[in-house]
Chains A and B, each alone.
Chain A
Amino acid sequence: MNDSLPTSSTIATGTESGAAESLRQRELIAAIFSPNPVEVPSYGMAQTGCRWRAGLAAYRGNGIGHARSALREQFPTLLAMLGDDAFDTLCAYYWRSCPPRKGDLAWAGVELPDFIDTVPELQDWPWLSDCARLDWAVWQAAGAARSRLNEEDLRRLATGDPQSLYLQLAEGVRRIASYWPIVTLYQAHSDPNPDWNAVTRSLEYRQAETALAWRPPENSASAPTVMALDEVTDRWVTALINATNIETALELAGNAFDFAAWLELAVRQGWLNAVIAKE
């Protein structure tokens, strides 16, 4: 889901007629994504007046409808927090401000968390964008390749020198740091009987949480899972994300870190993809 590739190949449209196709396509797209309906037909249109307005409205509605249904799947916590109407309005603003770049709606929400930070009406709920970042991490974890760790990897770890060994995290493992209780909020929204008083208290006390999201192995509870990282484990995970060798990562984590316990959990939960030996 993550490997990025070169994006575009261009066909020469140097001829005058090719330039006309480019122009009419650019103009129609600009009208579709315009903040308000455009009254004047875009370049080269056959329709005018109310027939143009109706046709344009059909395309504008289509776009927002597609974005909305994709974003509802991708941001369930955000949807529950905002409610349907506010979420849909946000989707429409987002669609026009950050038009999609890919023809695969699985990527529709990629810029939504950053966009939320720019919406004035949402500044009273400053944790919303981090909650959205966690929703997005969970969405990506759901489609990530599972751990490929095998016994060879563990044998390397059982015999090698930690100075030249690196632990590679599995693709779906994501760390989201926040100044807000994003894990408490996330879990409250997947809990059938949440304790809202406790949630509200954690917001009042501004309980900062760092979330780890991942995709467990196929035979366990296979839904993407979220947990809060304590400070010590967070230092360790951050070191691994920064591709630090095991010995240095342990120094960064500090003496309180229990490597053996973490390793067992990591293997069972599918957090690791490989043990890599580099000289």
Chain B
Amino acid sequence: MPTTALSCGIGLRQPHYREIMTIQPALGFVEVHSENFFNPHDAAAQVLVQVRAVYPVSLHGVGLALGSACGLDDEHLYRLAGLVERIDPVRVSDHACFARAPWAQGGIVHANDLLPIAFTESAMQIACANIQRVQDRLKRPILIENLSSYLDFADRDYSEPQFFAELGRRSGCGLLLDINNLMVNALNASDPDPLLSVCNWIDELDRLAPPGLIGEIHLAGFSVQQELIIDDHSSPVSEPVWHAYAYALEQFGALPTLIEWDDRLPALSVLLDERGKAMTLAERISLRMSASVKHSARLYGSGP
């Protein structure tokens, strides 16, 4: 069922709080980073409760470290569960990454970053076990986002789209498809035609994915550094990413879409314009799809 175009949203960032709450623009949802709201007692927690009274909130985590071979941090999961209970979010997501590992001097380190996992069968089993623990605790399926990775592991039993399709099948989780991350990876792999390789990635996922695997799409800007492209969310969505987005919508239909912007944050109106662009594309695809459904319905004689 294609969702309405209104389910395009923006990231809620502190400099925009007041303006958003004052003008209350039409938004399908707002998204926040879960860890920023773990503490139920601080000022940020009060803001989120007020925002939640106006908008659906999507909780996007950065710290569960679902691919960590040493397992999850119980305390982190406990705090996330508390937040989910307080906010009743429309979606809960985190990344296909690891961050925790035993430290030579004892204990476990959490790198506070989104570190790459290997696309191997054993990494699949680790991620499945961790994701299932989270889903059991939260009593809901979660979405897992594909990374921008600046390093990769050589061993692999799956391609990346295969990995996410299989992960969804085994654990019941969905995919948060970050199209900018696909583009950043293609560029960093020095791909001769990055847009083509992103579209191939999307095609492969489309062939393999169980129905309804994708629960949300992320769009953002990247920046060109000396040696690498960095996914720094500091600029408008790039042209090739818009093309890839349109291509993904053709395959999967309109999906809840987020404009992510974290660094060098622009005026709210700029963010809303970017969201408007996503919405226009999504609406156009929805219309065309419903037209073709009507068309085939006429062909096969079963009225809508």
Contact = CB atoms under 8 A, between A and B. Distances in A.
Contacts of B303: none
Nearest to A54: B227
Contact of A7 (B39, B75, B151): B75
B151 A8 contact: no
Nearest to B77: A9
Contacts of B39: 1, 106, 143
B210 interface: no
Interface string A4-46: 1111111101010110111011101110110000000000111
Contacts of B79: 104
A54 B71 contact: no
A100 interface: yes
Contact of A28 (B122, B129, B151): B151
Interface string A38-72: 00000011110011101111110011001100000
B115 A20 contact: no
Nearest to B38: A104
Interface stretch (B93-101, B171-179, B198-206, B276-284): B93-101
B12 interface: no
B110 A102 contact: yes
B75 A6 contact: yes
Nearest to B94: A103
A8 B78 contact: no
Contacts of A29: 101, 103, 109, 111, 115
B151 A146 contact: no
B70 to A, nearest CB: 6
Given A9-B72, A101-B108, A142-B42, A44 B155 contact: yes
Nearest to B76: A103
A11 B130 contact: yes
Contacts of A263: none
Contacts, number: 170
A145 interface: yes
A18 B125 contact: yes
Nearest to A143: B42
Nearest to B149: A55
Contacts of B87: none
Contact of B65 (A5, A52, A56, A103): A103
Nearest to A218: B46
Given A102-B76, A103-B64, A103-B100, A66 B130 contact: no
A7 B73 contact: yes
Nearest to A171: B41
B23 interface: no
B235 interface: no
Interface string A89-114: 00000000001111111101000000
Contacts of A10: 70-71
A266 interface: no
B69 A18 contact: yes
B150 A25 contact: no
A208 to B, nearest CB: 32
A32 B101 CA distance: 12
A52 B113 contact: no
Contact of B74 (A9, A13, A32, A52): A9
Contact of A11 (B69, B117, B151): B69
Nearest to A9: B71
B118 A21 contact: yes
A24 B153 contact: yes
A144 interface: yes
A103 B74 contact: no
Given A21-B126, A54-B227, A144-B41, A66 B113 contact: yes
Contacts of B104: 30
A108 B110 CA distance: 11
B1 interface: no
A20 B74 contact: no
Select the residue from A9, A15, A50, A106 with max chain B CB neighbours within 10 A. A9
B228 interface: yes
A46 B73 contact: no
Interface string B37-57: 011011100000000000000
B156 to A, nearest CB: 9
B111 A99 contact: yes
A45 B41 CA distance: 43
B102 interface: yes
B123 to A, nearest CB: 5
B75 A5 contact: yes
Given A26-B102, A59-B111, A103-B73, 7 more contacts: A17-B122, A29-B111, A32-B113, A44-B153, A44-B154, A45-B154, A63-B111
Interface of B: 35, 38-39, 41-43, 62-65, 68-76, 78-79, 98-104, 107-113, 115, 117-118, 120-123, 125-126, 129-130, 133, 150-155, 225-228, 230
6 contacts: A8-B100, A25-B69, A56-B151, A58-B225, A100-B110, A146-B41
Q: Which 8 A-B pairs have the closest CB atoms?
A: A103-B63, A17-B122, A55-B151, A54-B227, A55-B150, A143-B42, A58-B150, A22-B69
